[in-house]
Structure 1
Amino acid sequence: MKYSLGFRLQLARRERGFSQKYMCQILKISAPTWSQYESDNKEPNLTKFRQIVKTLNVSADWLLGLTDHDANLKGGKKSAVPKTTKH
């Protein structure tokens, strides 16, 4: 299953212990804008995306859903997104 950009943003932010307010301050954006990123109602432009990757210390490929692995998240090379069980 592919997880959305918003889901991955929230997962990485929480793992780093960053608040939404902190991300807004770093990126110089409003709280509603960050909330829209995490709820998949808006996507960051390329400049903001680069800042997010650096701030959260994750790979762009992982954030974009091109891979389910990011060595900088808990679990290292293991999948950083939850596994779903098939019924």
Structure 2
Amino acid sequence: MSNRKLEPVYGIDDTLGGRISLARDARDISVEEAAQILGVEPGTWSAWENDRDEPRSNRLDMMAGVLQVSVAWLLNGQGAGPNWR
């Protein structure tokens, strides 16, 4: 088993939930932290990441700001995506 850190592969997460999860990981924040910043329950955030529900447009705009990505990238994978540091 390798201890090598895997680099993200853009385009692999082709759902809204996958991109939300990828962007949150890039920011290195937990579901609980992200949910608290956005003012929602952790279960709600998890439902978004697992494609069981979708955020409303006003939440999506706020989420893009929190995750430092564009709304377009969250919706369709085009535009400013996560910045891996």
Classify the TM-score, shorter chain: 0.7 to 0.9
Structure 2 residue aligned with 1:79: none
Distance, in Å, in 1 between the alignment partners of 2:24 and 2:74 is 11
Question: Secondary structure of 1:6's match?
Answer: helix
Gaps of 5+ in 1: 75-87
Amino acid aligned to 1:38? E
Which of the pair has the greater relative contact order for Cα pairs under 8 Å at 6+ separation? 2
Gaps of 5+ in 2: 1-10
Structure 2 residue aligned with 1:73: 83
Aligned-pair identity (%):
33
CA change 1:71–1:40 in 2 (3 A) is: closer
TM-score w.r.t. length of structure 1: 0.75
Would you say how many aligned residue pairs link Structure 1 and Structure 2?
Answer: 74
Do residues 64 (structure 1) and 75 (structure 2) align? yes
Give, in angstroms, the shift of residue 73 of structure 1: 2.3
Runs of 4+ that moved beyond 3 A = none
Question: Secondary structure of 2:76's match?
Answer: coil
Name the Cα RMSD after superposition.
2.0
1:1-87 equivalence runs, <5 A? 3-67=14-78, 69-70=79-80, 72-74=82-84
